[in-house]
């Protein structure tokens, strides 16, 4: 069965797993047919004020991402749902359910954070994806050593990646969270895998500083290394340049994604740095292809 790329999903459970993270369970059409893979991404559509259900494009364009997005943009702005990217934390096809973890950001909140902070059973969102066309093959079972680095927004993906590692994997995960209350128990039952929690409150600078220090201080053993980086876009760029310029990692051995931008949202126009990152990602994908390392979703 080919899963539907576009559908409404309905909240069946809401759990506050840390003070700043909410786990929401959804059910809906097509979730029983999804194929699971680590670091699985989807788009969530949040209703505008006054809407109980987000307005989605009419059926017919789901099989073509560009056509669907053009139809999405054709919806009047005051009726068009806010769309944000998230990671599928877990998938239960028998129950037709997925779970998604939402970070409750400090300070002024956007529509996704506002929704997650008050989410309740019965609430409805729209989804686009996950699309199997973007299910790349990361070298989780072929690299000699793996580095995962990200902030709280990357934690769901890092968790799913760790859970897919072979028993003899050697890896280090550096995760920046606000403080000790944000640490989560992860399913790390492999002796060669270490999770290093770093606290943003302990850093002298702003978001990302503690993570940068942790990666710079990490011992990278000899052998074939693969790095997976995600989180705030500027921090991810700095980490990648450190690994390439100072550690000598090949660009094709680093998968990187800017999940969010400081002081900006996905609705804002791309900055010059965003465009530069997009070009870097295109170059990295080419390098990955040439080196035999597949891309992530």
* Domains defined for the chain, CATH in brackets: 6-131 (2.40.30.10), 145-291 (3.40.50.80)
pLDDT of residue 205: 65
pLDDT of residue 264: 53
Residue 89: enclosing H or E segment and its boundaries? strand 82-92
**In angstroms, rounded to a whole number, what is the distance separating the alpha carbons of residues 112 and 68?**
21
In the chain (297 residues long), the average pLDDT of successive 10-residue segments reads 80 97 96 89 95 88 80 95 96 96 84 95 96 82 96 95 92 96 86 93 76 95 95 94 96 93 55 55 53 36
Please state the pTM of the whole predicted model: 0.85
Helices 209-217 and 233-245 pack at an angle, to 10 degrees, of: 20
Listed in sequence order, the residues at least 6 apart from 130 whose beta carbon sits closer than 8 Å to its beta carbon are 34, 40, 41, 42, 88, 297
Q: Helix H segments across the chain?
A: 65-73, 111-117, 155-163, 209-217, 233-245, 272-291
Cβ of 189: how many Cβ atoms within 10 Å? 10
As a 3-state breakdown, the chain gives helix, strand, coil percent values, each rounded to 5, of 30, 30, 40
């Amino acid at each position: 069965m080919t899963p539907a790329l576009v559908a409404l999903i309905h909240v069946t459970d809401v759990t506050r797993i840390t003070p700043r993270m909410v786990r929401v369970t959804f059910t809906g059409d097509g979730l029983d047919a999804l194929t699971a893979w680590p670091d699985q991404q989807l788009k969530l559509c949040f209703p505008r004020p006054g809407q109980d259900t987000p307005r989605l494009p009419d059926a017919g364009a789901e099989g073509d991402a560009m056509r669907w997005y053009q139809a999405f943009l054709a919806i009047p702005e005051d009726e068009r749902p806010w769309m944000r990217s998230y990671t599928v934390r877990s998938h239960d096809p028998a129950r037709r359910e997925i779970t998604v973890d939402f970070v409750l950001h400090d300070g002024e909140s956007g529509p996704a954070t506002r929704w997650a902070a008050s989410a309740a059973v019965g609430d409805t969102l729209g989804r686009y994806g996950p699309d199997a066309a973007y299910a790349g093959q990361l070298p989780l079972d072929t690299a000699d050593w793996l580095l995962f680095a990200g902030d709280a927004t990357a934690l769901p993906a890092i968790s799913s990646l760790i859970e897919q590692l072979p028993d003899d994997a050697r890896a280090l995960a550096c995760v920046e969270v606000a403080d000790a209350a944000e640490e989560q128990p992860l399913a790390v039952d492999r002796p060669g895998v270490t999770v290093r929690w770093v606290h943003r409150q302990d850093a002298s600078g702003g978001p990302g500083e503690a993570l940068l220090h942790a990666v710079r201080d990490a011992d990278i053993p000899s052998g074939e290394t693969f790095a997976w980086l995600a989180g705030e876009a500027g921090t991810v760029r700095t980490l990648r340049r450190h690994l390439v310029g100072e550690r000598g990692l090949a660009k094709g051995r680093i998968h990187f994604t800017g999940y969010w931008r400081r002081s900006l949202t996905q609705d804002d126009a791309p900055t010059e740095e965003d465009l530069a990152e997009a070009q870097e990602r295109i170059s990295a994908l080419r390098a990955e292809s040439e080196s035999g390392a597949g891309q992530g979703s």
